[in-house]
Amino acid sequence: MAEEMGDDDGAVAAARAADRAFLGLEPSGHHRAAFTLTAGLARHDGRLYGGTAVAAAIAMFEQASGRRALWATVQFVSGAATVGDRIECEVEVLAAGRRTSQLRVTGRRDDEVLFGALGATAALKERAVQGVFETPPEVDPPEACEPFRFPIPRHLQHMADVGIERRMEIRVARRPTRGRGQLLFWARARDHLATPAILGYLADMVPMSVVHASGHMGGGTSLDNTLRLGLPCETDWVLLQLDPHLALGGYGHGTAHVWSPDGALLATASQTAALLVLD
């Protein structure tokens, strides 16, 4: 199935190969692939990081359909996978239309389902309605911003040197007022462009904003994670605008806008998570 990529087919193919390398995805047929959960793809407690599952699902969607990801939603079924485990991913093409494909990915550890993902890929029309109807926040560029470190319990501090901080760099785009409003961070995957899969990896931070809005430090374990994608942009740094909505009974909801440095809206994300307070 050919994708309407325009003149940039080689660049798209290279980006998808880079995504597979970032995740360590090893194909075992057109609709199957597997990766080993490393510290850089895990949370600080050594379990599967939600953004990794989103990235793997998007990479599988694009590989199976030959089209660019349009949206993806992941539901997390089990948090049993830990560093060193082998995660098998299988993609099903549920429908393949003239311009749109609808797909499903299931991630397993042995016979145990870890996550399920639904999504769509599309061949974009060259002349069609398009526009951005949100306004990006005004912040300093990433090189002028201070580094950010995740709030990590003392007994997990050793993971900071070998874990996700080695794959991801975050800077504070605007110093937040404790317990008030949105969080703004610059983020990038080190040595990788912000492809759709990498955006899924980076945007998994909404729970932290919900806990922060309640006046605490912490994060959460995602129940679901949805990413809706805008136009592609060749950048590594992206601005995460994290907006907490509400918390109730230990669960939280929120959204995020993902902006390019020049103000293009690359994606919107939403999450529901079981919240974890660390202070």
Task: Give the separation between CA 89 and CA 45, rounded to whole angstroms.
Answer: 22
Quick one: which of 203, 218, 237 has its CA closest to 275? Answer: 218
Please write the tens of the pLDDT for every residue from 146-178.
998 876 666 666 655 556 778 899 999 987 665
- Eight-class DSSP state of 66: S
Using the predicted structure, report yes or no on whether residue 2 has a pLDDT greater than 70. Answer: no
pLDDT of residue 131: 85
Using the predicted structure, report yes or no on whether residue 7 has a pLDDT greater than 90. Answer: no
Please write the tens of the pLDDT for every residue from 226-249.
999 998 889 999 999 999 999 999
The amino acid at residue 202 is L
Please write the tens of the pLDDT for every residue from 36-73.
999 999 988 899 999 999 999 999 999 999 999 999 99
The angle at the Cα of 40, spanning 26 to 173, to the nearest 5 degrees, equals: 125
Please name the residues in contact with 235: beta carbons below 8 A apart, sequence gap of 6 or more. Answer: 193, 194, 260, 261
Q: Give kind and range of the element (H or E) at residue 87.
A: strand 86-96
Please write the tens of the pLDDT for every residue from 200-234.
999 999 999 999 999 888 889 999 999 999 988 89
How many other C-beta atoms are found inside a 10 Å radius of the C-beta of residue 1?
12
**47 bridge partner residues:** 82
* CATH architecture label of 9-122: Beta Barrel (2.40)
- 142-277 falls under which CATH superfamily? Hotdog Thioesterase (3.10.129.10)
State the pTM of this model. Answer: 0.91
Please state the domain extents for the chain: 9-122, 142-277
The amino acid at residue 230 is G
Question: Under a CB-based contact definition with an 8 Å cutoff, are residues 207 and 219 in contact?
Answer: yes
- Eight-class DSSP state of 138: P
Angle at which helices 50-65 and 9-23 cross, to 10° = 140
| Percentage of residues of the chain with pLDDT beyond 70 | 91
- What is the residue-averaged pLDDT of the chain? 90
Using the predicted structure, report yes or no on whether residue 100 has a pLDDT greater than 60. Answer: yes
Task: Give the separation between CA 47 and CA 274, rounded to whole angstroms.
Answer: 15
